[in-house]
Amino acid sequence: MTFSQLEIFILVAENQSFTLTAKQLGITQSAVSHALKSLEQHWKVCLFSRNQHKIELTTIGIQLLRHAQSILNTAQSMQQEAAAAHGVHQGTLRIGSFGASASIHLLPEILTAYRQRYPNIEIYVDEGTDEQVSQWIMAKQVDVGFAVLPRQELDTFPVIQDIFVALIPKSYPIACKTKVSIAELADYPFILTKAGSQTHVELLFKLHQIQPTIKYQLSQLLTILNMVNINEGVSIVADMAITPELLALHPNVVKRPLTPNTQRHIGLAVANKKFMSPATKALIELAQDMFYFNK
């Protein structure tokens, strides 16, 4: 078993294609097939099921993929540690991100500054829900990821504070108010986000002992905005997710803060801060310098 074979295994699983993986690595398709066959012989298992043109991981393939990702991430961290000892910043950094708040508001600005400071570090970003990113961190599929704090199972570093806001059609009477309460929103059809804020929105209703009339459950912010824009109901989302540009595209939608003020904290998280790579540590320090200490 070699690191090259593990890399090929991971890429084929991600791409679901021998051809795309070969092109990505600059090798022949037969070399990809040979590497996977060698792993299957070594482990005495079948990693992929091949049905016509479709390639899927087997059950044992899914389990071994997690370990393969962890092994490569550990090897990359070791390489970064060794390089850092010589004053060299290079290697690979895998980041997990969720929702519009982290992916649109925080990540682009952080990555721009990070790449300027560490141009030799190769960066990969995987996007999922808040829960998925936390699972990726624990499984070491990513080195570091954004998380809504607190996260007791992870080592976390605060980055920024956000609030929740209501999205309301201009035609609704409640839109005339400068602030709205959770109880007032319960009088209208409700559009529940299925993205990173879902758990926190549901908790808000639970804390206020309110049962909203949920008309839609949607995962895409643009879809939620469109529904509010055509008077289909109200919603609660994270304020950072709603940029002025997005709001301008939906002229029938107004954004109102909640009363009492409802906050959440977003940070970066790792599985164990004692084993952070230099590249991971540098990202966290940069993010906190840019956002947290200026708040």
Q: Which helix (H) or strand (E) holds 100?
A: helix 99-100
Under 8 Å between Cβ of 228 and 168: yes
Give residue 274's Cα distance to chain centre: 23
Architecture of domain 1-81: Orthogonal Bundle (1.10)
Q: What is the pLDDT along the chain (295 residues), one digit of tens a residue?
A: 888 889 899 999 988 888 888 888 888 888 888 899 989 999 999 999 887 678 889 999 999 998 998 888 888 778 777 776 666 577 789 999 987 778 888 999 999 999 999 898 889 999 888 888 998 998 888 999 999 888 899 999 999 988 999 999 999 999 999 999 999 999 999 999 987 678 889 988 998 899 999 999 998 889 999 999 999 999 999 998 898 888 999 999 999 999 888 888 899 999 999 888 888 999 999 999 999 855 4
| Model pLDDT, residue 216 | 95
Which one-letter DSSP state was computed for residue 239? G
Q: Which amino acid is residue 208, in one-letter code?
A: H
| Model pLDDT, residue 125 | 93
| Model pLDDT, residue 46 | 93
Domain with CATH 1.10.10.10 in the chain: 1-81
Q: Of 3.30.413.10, 3.40.190.10, 1.20.1250.20, 3.40.50.80, which CATH number belongs to 164-262?
A: 3.40.190.10
What does the alpha-carbon distance between residue 152 and residue 143 come to, in Å, rounded to a whole number? 17
Half-sphere exposure of 9 (CA within 13 A, CB side): 31
Closest CA to 236 of 166, 182, 148: 166
Q: Residue 63: how many CB atoms within 10 A of its CB?
A: 11
Verdict on whether the full-model pTM lies above 0.85: no
What are the residues whose beta carbons fall under 8 Å from the beta carbon of 80, sequence distance 6 or more?
Answer: 90, 91, 277, 278, 279
| Model pLDDT, residue 294 | 52
Domain with CATH 3.40.190.10 in the chain: 164-262
